[in-house]
Every structure is written in structure tokens, then in C-alpha cells.
Amino acid sequence: MKKYTIEGERMFLERTAISLAAAQQKIKELTITKRTKRVAVTAAHGLVLAETITAPFPQPSFRRSGYDGYGITTADDGAFPITLRLAAEVPAGATFQQKLAAGETVRIMTGAQVPEDVVKVIMLEKTEQLPDGRVLFHEGSRSDNITPIGAEFPQGATLLTAGQRMNAGAISLLSAFGINECLVYEKPRVAVLATGTELLAAGSVPEAGKIYNSNGPLLAALVAENGGALYELGQIADEMATVEETLKRLAQEVDLIITTGGVSVGDFDFLAVAAQDSGQLLFNKLAMRPGSPTTAFVYENTPVLALSGNPGACFTGFYLLVEPLLQAFQGQESRLRQTTLKLAHDYRKKNNFDRYLRGTWREETVALVGSDQSSALGNLHLTTCFFKIPHEQELTAGEEVQVWCLPCK
């Protein structure tokens, strides 16, 4: 039975508010498909490993000199100063396979392979090359200055574990072992739809009663910033047929659909109706401010997160609801860091719902940044966290509040 009625063009939806925690749990329980593919290691930056990779050989794979210097044998590692005959030079990448006789030395460069019978590399600074080609060792060394085979990684040691997000260091590590491919999670394909006949595209001529579409570009950037692949950035009017047609098409092409606008209690909020008709409505109201009318449903096996059209609410809803789902597609947990900090100022506004305010944090305190209105967008670029004001409460400076610190900020 439909949980709404239509009188002419007016829609009346039944909504039951649930807590943010309950909504997050419903999203967490969604069945999603994590896709993997093999990519070049050099193209894996920012992607998440879907396999554990072990060392195919020890690192280093040969006895390696830690300094530029001269190698000596046990026979000559005694009283210093001492003068030895230079038998050969071993630059990085070369080898010296002959045996050193007593009284002989080899010049060895940093990173070069140390001959088997060399027991110490005496640093260049402690030596002097004489005019006749011999080498004078002014003093010895307590350290052998030789890195043994497998000192950093024995063969078979774990290099990177599944779930590691590839960064420059990880790429370097695999490259050092000659590994040129790795299995990663594919970025989830995401469609972003801004709804509303009142929206104008950037660059178009201003019109009375209309506003420029800022939430679409906002969400597109947030998707990219949090590991998603933007498949489509669209803008559709408030028309039921258009909404249904667009959802049906995208549900066959993407992993996740994010919408903004069209979910409030207005007369033309057709996305809210589509959610009711989907057959798998997760929720259509949250006991939170901003973003109370935020809606989530599954449309033909594809999750749809319908966020508020108010910029502040849209921004907040993305991080608290969409970001964890994007990470789940990549085999990850949410990157938001939850903590407790002290409020830097009084907050005296009571609300019947919990408020999740945009703020900035520093050391042990958190403070509101800019306006707390859901329609405000002038503070989004400054926001580094959200903090919670429990419903029906007024807080004073110094009281502790729950804080969600944002990634990439």
C-alpha cells in the first residue's frame, strides 16, 4: 500500500523519523558489489588494494654497501693506519667476483654489492688515495657498514596488506621489487543528480526566482575526493516521469545514485514519491538538523541517497551517510575520525532534533564556523568537522561534545 496520497499535484507523504545512528546502520547493512581489477602499479595511486602482496625475494637481495668507501678482508682488519693496494672499483650495479688477497682493497660505491670476502667497508672520509694508486687507511671502523641480505624484508614477508590505500610510498615499495601490477578495488561509479525546476546551470543568464546549481558541483567534488568515480553529473526538473526515467536508466549503469533536492515536504518533491514506490525504502526522515528529510532507498538493486537541497544539509548528509557507503565499495571503513572535544563557546539554541553543526577544531576545542543555517554555503570550504548538539539542550563553553573530523581537511 502506498504511504502517500495525491490530490491534483499535491502529495502528502507519511514519514517516520529515525536516528542518524539507525540510518547509518541501515546503509551499512546494504548488500553491495565490490568490483576488482588488475592495474599497473604506477596507475594505482589512491586506489585500495584487494590483495596482500609479499616479497618475491629478500630486500636487499645482496650484501649492500651503506657508504662510499673501501672494502677490506679479515686479514687486514687490524692495526691502523694501514696501506693497501687498490684491486678494483665496484660502482652501483656492478659486481666483483674475484677473491681479494691480503693487502688488497676494492673501491665500493653506496648501494653497490659487497664482495663475499669483504668484512668491512671503511668510509671514504677515513682514507686517502696515494699517488702510486695505493690507499691509506687512517683508521678502522667499529661498524661493518654492510647491509645484510633480507635486512629489511626477508623473502615472503608481507609488503602491503589488502585494504591498504595506495600512495606514493606504496607504489615505490612495489616498484622496488619489480612488481608492475596489483589487484585493486574499482572506484564505485556514482551518478549525481540535482533536481528542481528552479536550478540554473553555471554560465547561464540569471532569471528571476531561479538559483544556480551549486550542490551538483559540490557533490561531484566530494565524490572524487572520497574515492568515487563520477559517472554522470545531471540536472533534472521536478517531473515525476523524468525522475523515474532517469532513475531507471542510471540504476543499470552505476553503483550509487546521489540526489540533492526533491525530498522535502513540498508539493512537487517527486524523489520522495519515487522512494516510497521503490519497494525498498530505508528511511525518509531523520531525527537530525540539518537534513531531516534526507531519504534513502534501493531502486532496482541500486542504492539511492537523496540529500536535502539546502547546501549545508547536503554537505553534512554526504559525510555522515554517503561517505561510509563510498568507502564500503572499496573495502574500507569510513574515514571520518570520531572524537570528543570541548565546545569553545556557548550554544543556546534548543531543537527537538539533534543538531550536527559545521565547525573547525583545534587541539582540544571545537567551534562553530560561520552560520548554522542549513541554507548557508559560505562556510563549507572552511569546515573541518561536525559536532553534535543533543536535542533539547543548551550547552556552555567547556562542555564536551561529540565530533566527527573530516578526511582531506
User: CA 16, CA 285: separation in Å to the nearest integer?
Assistant: 6
Cell of 368: 562553530
Instruction: Write down the pLDDT at residue 70.
Output: 97
For residue 132, CA distances in Å to 83, 84, 85, 161, 310 come to 11, 11, 9, 55, 83
- The domain ranges of the chain are 15-35+187-330, 37-59+152-185, 64-147, 337-405
Q: Which of 87, 107, 108, 109 is nearest to 98 (CA)?
A: 87
**pLDDT band at residue 269 using 50, 70 and 90 as cut-offs:** low
> When comparing pLDDT for 320 and 269, which is higher?
320
Task: Map grid coordinates 574515492 to a residue.
Answer: 227
| DSSP designation for 131 | T
What are the tens digits of pLDDT across the range 247-258? 999 999 999 999
Q: Give mean pLDDT, residues 247-272.
A: 81
Instruction: Write down the pLDDT at residue 148.
Output: 97
Contacts 24+ apart (CB under 8 A), 375-379: 375/310, 375/311, 375/312, 376/311, 376/312, 377/214, 377/311, 377/312, 377/315, 379/312
Task: Map grid coordinates 574499482 to a residue.
Answer: 186
Cell of 119: 668484512
Please give the single-letter amino acid code of residue 64. R
What are the tens digits of pLDDT across the range 6-36? 444 444 467 789 999 999 999 999 999 999 9
Cβ-in-10-Å burial (0-12, 13-18, 19+) of 35 comes to middle
User: CA 403, CA 409: separation in Å to the nearest integer?
Assistant: 14
Q: Note whether 195 and 295 are within 8 A (CB).
A: no
What are the tens digits of pLDDT across the range 113-140? 999 999 999 999 999 999 998 999 999 9
Asked whether residue 141 carries a pLDDT value surpassing 70, the answer given is yes
What are the tens digits of pLDDT across the range 279-305? 789 998 999 999 999 999 999 999 999
Instruction: Write down the pLDDT at residue 194.
Output: 92
Q: Note whether 25 and 325 are within 8 A (CB).
A: no
Instruction: Write down the pLDDT at residue 263.
Output: 67
Question: How is domain 337-405 classified at the CATH fold level?
Answer: Beta-clip (2.40.340)
Instruction: Write down the pLDDT at residue 266.
Output: 53
User: CA 323, CA 334: separation in Å to the nearest integer?
Assistant: 7
CATH number of 64-147: 2.170.190.11
Q: Give mean pLDDT, residues 169-196.
A: 96
- For the CA atoms of the chain, what is the radius of gyration? 32
Q: How would you classify the pairing of strands 199-200 and 211-212?
A: parallel
* % of the chain surpassing 70 pLDDT: 94
CA dihedral 342, 347, 353, 357 (to 10 degrees): -60
What are the tens digits of pLDDT across the range 79-88? 899 999 999 9
Instruction: Write down the pLDDT at residue 13.
Output: 62
Architecture of domain 37-59+152-185: Alpha-Beta Complex (3.90)
What are the tens digits of pLDDT across the range 322-350? 999 999 999 999 999 999 999 999 999 99
- Per the prediction, the chain carries an average pLDDT of 92
CATH number of 15-35+187-330: 3.40.980.10
Q: Count of CB atoms within 10 A of residue 207's CB?
A: 9
Cell of 386: 561536525
What's the predicted TM-score (pTM) here? 0.85
Q: How far is CA 12 from the centre of its chain?
A: 40
Cβ-in-10-Å burial (0-12, 13-18, 19+) of 137 comes to buried
| CB half-sphere exposure, 126, CA atoms < 13 A | 18
**Mapping DSSP to helix (H, G, I), strand (E, B) and coil, where does residue 140 land?**
coil
**pLDDT band at residue 264 using 50, 70 and 90 as cut-offs:** low
